[in-house]
Amino acid sequence: MKKMLFVFNPHSGKGLIRQHLMEIVDIFTKDGYEVTAYPTQARNDAFEKVCSRGGEFDAVVCSGGDGTLNETIKALMKSEKRVPLGYIPSGTMNDFASSIGIPKDMPAAAAVVAKGEPISVDIGSFNDEYFTYIAAFGAFTDVSYETPQQMKNMFGSLAYIMEGMKRLNTAKSYHVTVRNGSEVIEDDFIFGMVSNSTSVGGFKGISGTEVKLDDGVFEVVLIKTPKTLAEFQQTINAFLRREMDSQYFVNFKSDHVEFHSEDDLPWTLDGEYGGNCRNVIVKNNCRAIDIFTPHAGGVEAALYVGAAETE
């Protein structure tokens, strides 16, 4: 019998896992898995459990929001044995799940693990840490982890917008030097992100076009600091229209990018606090993790269907 470690956050989203737990375990059991279920008790609990026990199993499945997924993938990246990963999303945004076509319905997502196909996806290195789909600095990056859970449960993605609006008048500018190979970009920015996802914060298209999760490169987007109120409004309008090639943005693809600032840069990794860092090296670990998806056609098929499901 195959062995599975099932780690889940019982408080993620509205705690819906509690309504589906028995059905999910039954789906896994019928597929021939002996399931060890573990409800996380605190932050980093998923990381610790997968680090200590993950190598004993044939598959690791996690359920929760982007933070739980991040902890699980970090643990797998630091393990000698990287077993296939299953993901049952239960958070507010679930950007990564949307990108690869994992359904929002929890039993359906469990069925993907039981009957789906694993595909290999890129994982990011952030200095000595790892991230699944986004590392970002500057304006609004603290919204995801400073928005009260009660607001997320009540308003969903609207809660992020409501919390972000409070920060519009206090967005700080950062003078940052960005190195992409031989190219050096130095300017003032209010926001920057390195991503590997078709959806960021529930918005599709802001990471650019032709996003692939297994091509060995990330999409980098930097927003220049507006110099006037008119420029600020034009920047917002361009962002909402997904005009990422406008004069207010810098964007490119890279497998290795470095950031340097004389001031502390507040970073977020997959929606969780990533620390204040002045020097950051981001690298792409190409096809580092195998994750179950409902599509046997590989990453491109998963991306195509995922995009259609989330539009």
pLDDT higher at 149 or 261: 261
Q: Does pLDDT of 284 surpass 60?
A: yes
pLDDT in tens, 39-60: 999 989 999 999 999 999 999 9
Block residue for tokens 């790892």: 130
Would you state the pLDDT for residue 99?
83
Which of residues 255 and 249 earns the better pLDDT score? Answer: 255
Listed in sequence order, the residues at least 6 apart from 157 whose beta carbon sits closer than 8 Å to its beta carbon are 92, 93, 201, 202
Residue 301 has pLDDT above 80, yes or no: no
- Could you give the residue range(s) of every CATH 2.60.200.40 domain in the chain? 129-286
High-pLDDT (> 70) share of the chain, %? 80
The CATH fold assigned to 129-286 is Tumour Suppressor Smad4 (2.60.200)
Judge whether residue 1 has pLDDT over 90. no
Mean pLDDT value across the chain = 83
pLDDT, position 15 = 83
> Are 73 and 97 spatial neighbours (Cβ–Cβ below 8 Å)?
no
Beta partners for residue 117, in sequence order: 293
Confidence of residue 159 (pLDDT cuts 50, 70, 90): very low
pLDDT of residue 243: 75
Res 167 pLDDT > 60: no
Mean pLDDT for the stretch of residues 1-27: 92
Tokens 């962002």 locate to: 239
Q: Locate the DSSP E strands across the chain.
A: 2-8, 33-39, 59-64, 85-89, 117-126, 129-131, 134-138, 174-180, 183-195, 199-200, 203-204, 218-224, 249-254, 256-269, 272-293
pLDDT (average), residues 277-305: 75
Topology (CATH level 3) of domain 2-121+287-310: Rossmann fold (3.40.50)
Cα dihedral value 273, 166, 156, 146, nearest 10? 20
What local confidence, expressed as pLDDT, does residue 178 receive?
98
Residue 157, pLDDT > 50, answer no
pLDDT category of residue 261 using cuts at 50, 70 and 90: very high
pTM for this predicted structure: 0.83
Neighbours of 166 (CB within 10 A): 11
> Phi/psi zone of residue 141: left (φ > 0), alpha (ψ -120 to 50 degrees), beta?
alpha
- Whether pLDDT at 35 is above 90: yes
Q: Where in the chain is the domain with CATH 3.40.50.10330?
A: 2-121+287-310
* Residue 165 predicted with pLDDT over 80: no
Query: Measured between alpha carbons, how far is residue 299 from residues 110, 126, 305, 307 in Å?
Result: 19, 23, 10, 12
